[in-house]
């Protein structure tokens, strides 16, 4: 019963917020949001390596090996594999059952030899072995989740509904070998708004074994270890200290609760990733020392220390055909920027 209720609440939450997130990101060009701060721009932080065009849109870069890159496409369970020079392309179909529940919230990660599919609305963890093509299915006994990352072949950090309130979301560590769930203690504030005001982006660094959770709507990011212990809390350099979104709770005739934003939100930060002891955060707020032309025709990346969260520097990723990237990711020394069906790659110049 609880799982059914939670599934419906989660679907209502996603229906309400995802279009607004996308709409806000791609329409904020009509105004120039400034945050009362200044950026330090690094000299020659990236060098363009090249680009390639796919015949269909790409969603994200979901993994890499010493010889291949992996990209998610629109079809759930289907992955595009390229060599490092982007001269050889092939698709692999992992054989997932195409259902609405599965496709409505599916996160994909490649850490060879496994592909991990985190199906938040089932909820389940699906593992596909790239060599044997064997599939294993682990049904999560806990509630639905909307964020997650693998931290090993058997353990996953998830963010989903708190069964004690049904109106908040919390972090959890799920282990497939014994179907156990470890819950956070005091990380996520209780806002009773379906988790909307605390929504964000979760990323994991395999080398340091650290997680970063970056908030979308205000200037906070948190560093966690794999046991869900907070190592530090830090702020992005803008001045948006409180969430730029508020939600209204509605009880439907069926008795279910629906949470919807009561005003157009302002996205402060959009994405983040970790590389070489640094955190890269895509900010949507202009600094006082940025000119309008540069801000409108580039995506700005702010760089922070993974060790303590302190601000280091900033740099631009250029727009392509007057459009900012949809996703960015870093593997090795290579930064990927995805513009629908075009992927541009840049070398990160350490410094």
What confidence score (pLDDT) does residue 31 get?
Answer: 58
Q: Which residue has the higher pLDDT, 4 or 70?
A: 70
For residue 14, being part of any structural domain is answered with yes
Q: What is the pTM of this model?
A: 0.88
For residue 151, being part of any structural domain is answered with yes
For residue 351, being part of any structural domain is answered with no
Assess contact for 63 and 79: CB atoms under 8 A.
no
For residue 290, being part of any structural domain is answered with yes
Per residue in 88-129, pLDDT tens?
999 999 999 889 999 999 999 999 999 999 999 999 999 999
Instruction: Compute the distance between CA of residue 159 and CA of residue 216 in angstroms, rounded to an integer.
Output: 15
Helix (H, G, I), strand (E, B) or coil at 295: helix
Per residue in 302-341, pLDDT tens?
999 999 999 999 999 999 988 999 999 999 889 999 999 9
Instruction: Compute the distance between CA of residue 314 and CA of residue 42 in angstroms, rounded to an integer.
Output: 6
Residue 252 has which token pair? 């439907």
For residue 12, being part of any structural domain is answered with yes
Domain span including residue 211? 2-346
Instruction: Compute the distance between CA of residue 1 and CA of residue 6 in angstroms, rounded to an integer.
Output: 9
What confidence score (pLDDT) does residue 351 get?
Answer: 58
Who's near 268: CB < 8 A, 6+ residues apart?
Answer: 215, 216, 217, 218, 219, 236, 238, 240, 244, 283, 284, 285
Q: Indicate the helix (H) or strand (E) that contains 3.
A: helix 2-27
Residue 29 has which token pair? 């060009």
Instruction: Compute the distance between CA of residue 37 and CA of residue 282 in angstroms, rounded to an integer.
Output: 16
Distances (CA, A) of 274 to 71, 81, 196, 278, 343: 18, 22, 24, 6, 19
Counting runs of H as helices and runs of E as strands, what totals does the chain give? 3, 26
Instruction: Compute the distance between CA of residue 243 and CA of residue 238 in angstroms, rounded to an integer.
Output: 13
Q: Over pLDDT 70: what percentage of the chain?
A: 87
Instruction: Compute the distance between CA of residue 324 and CA of residue 24 in angstroms, rounded to an integer.
Output: 13
- Give the total residue count for the chain: 351
Across the chain, what does the average pLDDT equal? 87
What confidence score (pLDDT) does residue 105 get?
Answer: 94
What confidence score (pLDDT) does residue 193 get?
Answer: 73
Helix (H, G, I), strand (E, B) or coil at 302: strand
Total domains in the chain come to: 1
pLDDT over 60 (residue 9): no
CATH number at residue 214: 2.130.10.10
pLDDT over 60 (residue 67): yes
Residue 48 has which token pair? 């363009």
pLDDT over 90 (residue 39): yes
Strand partners, 183: 172
């Amino acid at each position: 019963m609880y799982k059914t209720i939670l599934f419906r609440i989660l679907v209502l939450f996603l229906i309400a917020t995802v279009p607004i997130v996308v709409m806000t990101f791609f329409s904020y060009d009509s105004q120039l949001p400034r945050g009362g701060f200044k950026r330090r721009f690094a000299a020659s932080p990236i060098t363009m390596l090249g680009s390639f065009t796919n015949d269909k849109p790409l969603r994200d870069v979901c993994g890499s090996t010493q010889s291949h890159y992996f990209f998610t496409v629109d079809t759930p369970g289907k992955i595009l594999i390229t060599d490092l020079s982007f001269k050889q392309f092939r698709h692999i179909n992992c054989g997932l059952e195409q259902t609405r529940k599965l496709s409505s919230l599916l996160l994909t990660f490649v850490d060879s030899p496994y592909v991990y599919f985190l199906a938040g609305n089932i909820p389940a963890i699906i593992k596909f072995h790239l060599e044997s093509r064997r599939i294993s299915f682990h049904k999560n006994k806990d509630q639905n989740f909307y964020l997650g990352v693998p931290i090993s072949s058997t353990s996953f950090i998830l963010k989903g509904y708190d069964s004690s309130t049904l109106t908040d979301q919390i972090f959890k560590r799920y282990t497939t070998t014994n179907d156990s769930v470890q819950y956070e203690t005091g990380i996520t504030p209780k806002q009773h708004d379906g988790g909307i005001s605390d929504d964000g982006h979760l990323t994991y660094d395999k080398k340091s074994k650290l997680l970063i959770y970056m908030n979308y709507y205000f200037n906070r990011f948190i560093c966690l270890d794999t046991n869900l212990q907070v190592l530090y809390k830090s702020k992005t350099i803008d001045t948006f200290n409180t969430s730029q979104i508020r939600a209204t709770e509605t009880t439907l005739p069926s008795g279910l609760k629906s949470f919807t934003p009561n005003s157009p939100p302002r996205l402060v930060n959009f994405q983040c990733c970790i590389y070489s002891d640094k955190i890269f955060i895509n900010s949507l707020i202009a600094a006082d020392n940025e000119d309008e032309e540069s801000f409108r025709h580039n995506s700005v990346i702010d760089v922070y220390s993974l060790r303590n969260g302190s601000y280091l520097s900033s740099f631009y990723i250029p727009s392509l055909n007057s459009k900012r990237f949809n996703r960015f990711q870093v593997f090795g020394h290579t930064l990927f920027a995805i513009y629908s069906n075009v992927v541009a790659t840049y070398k990160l110049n350490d410094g």
